[in-house]
Every structure is written in structure tokens, then in C-alpha cells.
Chain A
Amino acid sequence: MMPLRYRGLRHPVTQLRDEMDRLLTGFFGPPAEGSWTPTSRSQPAVNLWEQGDALVAELEVPGVTSEQLDISVIGGELSLEIHRPDPPGDGVTYHRRERPTGSFARVLRLPADVDANRVQAELKDGIVTITLPKAEEAKPCRIKVASAS
């Protein structure tokens, strides 16, 4: 049964893959972390909303410095790349290893045209906030109605 939850704008193939992962994991034994939770996902999670004349995207990227983040806007797409270095593994014993490492990439199709030159990104406490001001053409424009008299 499909759990009831908001799926957002995720690609159907991604949804299918996650669903298959979930089914297989459940079939071949319990997942490593006890119970399956509906918030598991295999790509950096994004929240996106509209704020005034801009779109704002937010991601949780704990442990990542600004040099390990690649953010670019190409055409109507926001491309995100995160590189997390592998932790030192020599001479130590890992009792638990849950924090993800490696590279993650994601491309989001933006719902409005943005002014790529004015895009700003801020990293604070492991949260990156990307402000994407809308292009002039995409801003709402009030049309004056002239009365023909």
C-alpha cells in the first residue's frame, strides 16, 4: 500500500526506485536502523518556496563547508552538488557509521525564470539557503485597462 505522504515534484523513476528499495529491504530482513521511516531518501532533500519576488531553496548539509558545495543555475535548472569528505578511517574503530559521505548531485527544474546573476547562497549551521530572484519577465505585471470612450 502506498503510504500517504506528500511526494513533491520527485521524478517517478526516483519514486519507483525508493519504493523498490523499501520493499526489498523489508523482505530480506529488517533495515539496519530498526524500522523503516517514510523520510528516507537517496538524494539531498530540498525545500523550495516563493518569497516575494524570489524563489528560495533550502537544504540541510551538516558538516559541509562552502568549498564543498557547488551551486549553479543553468537555463531554468538549479544544479546542486555536495561533496562530503570521507572521515579518517585509519587506526580507529567505527561503532556506528550513519552520517553519509561522498558526492551527491541533484538538478531541480525551477518553476519560474530566475535572474541567474543575482542568485545568492548562504551557509549557516549546516543549512544552505539559496535565494533565486525571479527574472523581470517572470514577475507579475499589472495590466492597466484603458477604457475606450
Chain B
Amino acid sequence: MPNSTEITKKAADHPEGAERMRSGQFFRPNCDIVERDDELLLLADVPGARSDQIDVKFENGTLSIHARVERRQAPETEYLLCEYAVGDYWRTFQVSEAVDASKISAEYANGVLTLHLPKAESLKPRKIAVTST
């Protein structure tokens, strides 16, 4: 829905088409992808995850994000209101731009994962100085 004030939590597909050993739901985190002159910036909402439980992989042009989220309440909790479920986050992206994989960095704060994907040297815009003779 074209409603920017909407908070959504979407179910993710089976990661890599394989079935998982652990039961539970997988969610697709909402992401912003921003292109700057020298890098691609990816912001992913993964509330409830801890920094040591987030896996980011970049392989053959595929970026995958997996954040494990444990249940915060006892399974027998009886909810008076239950509007969202809690589960792992999973999402993959095909990165077509040439990215310098060795320089990818990640930060995590307040439930948001920030990934910096620096562009490969050859793609960075370069200002050519014109010299007068």
C-alpha cells in the first residue's frame, strides 16, 4: 500500500530454498537502500536482534542478512493483544553494482542494521582536472 506511515512485518521466503532445522517464523526486514557517490548504504529494521546474532554475508554478488531473534516472552504467555509475531529476519539482495567486498562494514544500533558497501575504485566518480596550455 502506498502509505508511508505503515509499519509492516512481512514473512520471508525460505532462505535459499532450503528448509530450516528450527521451527518458527522468518520475517523480511524493511530496508532503505541509498546510493551515495562512493558507497551504497543499506539500512535494515531488525528490532529485537542483538549485534552478536546478526550474520551478514556477501558472496558472488549476493548480500544476505540473517538476524536471529529469540522469543522475549515465555511460550505460555497469554496475550491480551497480539499484533505482531517475533522471529528471525532474513533477506537477500542481488548487488549488481561493483562493490569492494573487502571493505564492507556494518553497524547496529537501536534495532537498525547499517551496512556500508563501498563502490569499487573504478566506479567512483572522478573529477578530471582540465589544464590549460
Closest to A110 in B: B80
A93 cross-chain contacts in B, Cβ below 8 A: 34-35
Among A37, A49, A60, contact of B79 (Cβ-Cβ < 8 Å):
A49
In-complex Cβ contact of A63 among B6, B72, B110 (8 A) = B110
Encoded as 1 (CB less than 8 Å from any B CB) or 0, chain A from 1 to 41 comes to 00000101110000000000110010000011100010111
Contact flag A41-B8 (CB < 8 Å), given A32-B2, A62-B110, A62-B112: yes
Q: How far is the CA of A50 from the CA of B110 in the complex (A)?
A: 26
Please determine whether B3 and A42 come into contact, CB atoms closer than 8 angstroms: yes
Q: Which of B7, B35, B78 contacts A100 (CB 8 A)?
A: B7
Asked if B8 contacts A87 (CB within 8 A), the reply is: no
A55 CB to nearest B CB, Å:
7
User: Within B1-56, which residues are at the interface with A (CB < 8 Å)?
Assistant: 1-11, 30-36, 40-41, 43, 45-50
A7 CB to closest chain B CB, in angstroms?
9
Q: B83 near A46 (CB under 8 angstroms)?
A: yes
User: Is B111 interfacial (CB 8 A cutoff)?
Assistant: yes
C-alpha gap A111/B81 in the complex (Å): 10
The residue that A45 contacts in the complex, of B10, B34, B43, B84, with Cβ under 8 A, is B84
Q: Is the CB of A49 within 8 A of B78?
A: yes
Q: CA separation between A49 and B86, bound complex, in Å? A: 15
A44–B83 alpha-carbon span in the complex (Å): 9
Interface status of A125 (Cβ within 8 A of chain B): yes
Q: Which residues of B contact A (CB under 8 A)?
A: 1-11, 30-36, 40-41, 43, 45-50, 72-73, 77-85, 110-112
Write 10 A-B pairs (CB below 8 A) sorted by A numbering: A6-B82, A25-B1, A37-B10, A48-B80, A48-B82, A60-B9, A98-B31, A123-B110, A126-B111, A127-B47
Q: Given known contacts A47-B84, A126-B112, A127-B72, what 16 new A-B pairs fall within 8 Å (CB)? A: A8-B82, A10-B83, A39-B9, A40-B1, A40-B8, A46-B81, A49-B78, A60-B9, A62-B112, A65-B110, A87-B34, A98-B31, A102-B4, A125-B47, A126-B48, A127-B48
